[in-house]
Amino acid sequence: MGWETSFRLSKAASQLGAEEAFVYLARSLELKRRGVDVVSFGIGQPDFQPPPHVISEAKKAMDEGFNGYGPSLGMPELREAIASFVSEEYGVDVKAEEVAVTVGAKSAIFMAMISLLEPGDEVIIPDPSYPLYESVARFAGAKPVFLRLHRGNGYKVTFEEVEKLVTPKTRMIVLNYPENPVGTTMDQRDVEELVDFSAKRGIVVLSDEIYDHFVYEKKHFSTLQTSSWRDAVYYVNGFSKTFGMTGWRLGYVISNKELISKLSVVANNIYSCPVTFEQIAAAKALKEGLSWFKPILEGYRKRRDLIYREFLSIKGVKVVKPEGAFYIFPDFTEVIREKGLKNERELADRLLEERGVVVLPGTAFPKEGGKGHLRFSFAVSENDIVRGIARIKEWIES
């Protein structure tokens, strides 16, 4: 019968969507190989290295023999360090038994959805948002219900708008703030009301706060600072963004200790345990604190201000100033119309092919909410921001 029959994908696996940032990454590498001078606003990856004390601790841990399996929920040293770090950051009292170390934030999100959702459950997901949420919700057989973010509501998630979408079938509400791709964050009142409401209704709040240290206006207010988080919140964070450790694949969950202990079996079935020597180094990263990060954040704030100003100066582009993360999500609807293009996908393709500028189409996140928009990661040098936007302006005017 041939390989098509032998290797037909399950219905569940066919529901998975690829994160398009990785597709564009491959396309930009191909262009670079052909000698094109590429400016990439594509993948959401910090452009700094982990601090030297973390790298040296990882090498030392390998030399000292931390190369074997470890506990599925993570090394006790790191679970303790995460609990202390988060408790100090947010002024709360998280215990090590409420923490699970995971293989990147991605696997934390995957585990939440496959462990907590039943077929037919509804999951409220912002649109636009990080594409994994929709993809994995469908994989789990659940039904995504989209909360549309748009310029009219400042691209912000509010309690009232979420509440309107809740039905008896709602099982999970996904929050991501600061938000990828829009760069907005949530207000304390909305977070508090949402967690309180969800706890009373028995709904899980999956709160992906991986950009919590990339905030430019006010301090991040976490779901862990609410009074009823232990009844509803599945908090996700990780080392990829704040510590520049995307390739290490280290993340973590904080939630009710009963759930955490059940996740041990799920984690064990997927990956046995997170990488052992990395966890020793990650514990060091947390214990040393974030004083090294302050100048980096200042640099990112300057980039945010610069790219925002640049977009304000392009005719036909509408843009909201990001409050956090390192993304900006301008609306190019008018440009697309004036240039006679089909949509934002054609715009992204043309900028890549004709000017070597990598941007992601808004509909990669993952639906209608991103129509007419492009996502730019400003985790790039100021020089690249100026060069890249100049090319876009010149292309629009050509």
Ligand X SMILES: Cc1ncc(COP(=O)(O)O)c(C=O)c1O
Q: Return residues touching ligand X (CB under 6 A).
A: 44, 104-106, 130, 176, 180, 208, 210, 238, 240, 246, 251
Choose between 229 and 252: whose C-beta lies nearer to ligand X. 252
Distance between CA 102 and CA 271 in Å, rounded?
Answer: 9
Q: Considering the complex, what minimum distance in angstroms separates the CB of residue 104 from ligand X?
A: 3
Choose between 113 and 335: whose C-beta lies nearer to ligand X. 113
With contact defined as beta carbons under 8 Å apart, do 278 and 238 qualify? no
Q: Considering the complex, what minimum distance in angstroms separates the CB of residue 156 from ligand X?
A: 16
Q: Strand ranges (DSSP E) for 112-232?
A: 122-127, 143-148, 170-176, 204-208
- Four-residue CA torsion sign, 150, 198, 229, 273: negative
- Four-residue CA torsion sign, 160, 134, 376, 381: positive
Q: Considering the complex, what minimum distance in angstroms separates the CB of residue 120 from ligand X?
A: 25
Choose between 20 and 122: whose C-beta lies nearer to ligand X. 20
In the beta sheet, which residues pair with residue 97? none
Q: Considering the complex, what minimum distance in angstroms separates the CB of residue 313 from ligand X?
A: 28
Choose between 246 and 333: whose C-beta lies nearer to ligand X. 246
Q: Considering the complex, what minimum distance in angstroms separates the CB of residue 176 from ligand X?
A: 5
CA distances, 234 to each of 105, 161, 279, 337, 359 (Å):
12, 21, 21, 42, 31
Q: Closest residue to ligand X, Cβ-based?
A: 104
Choose between 270 and 396: whose C-beta lies nearer to ligand X. 270
Choose between 325 and 389: whose C-beta lies nearer to ligand X. 325
Query: Position of tokens 């170390």?
Result: 101
Q: Considering the complex, what minimum distance in angstroms separates the CB of residue 339 from ligand X?
A: 29
Distance between CA 41 and CA 327 in Å, rounded?
Answer: 9
Q: Which residues contact 5 (CB under 8 A, 6 or more apart)?
A: none
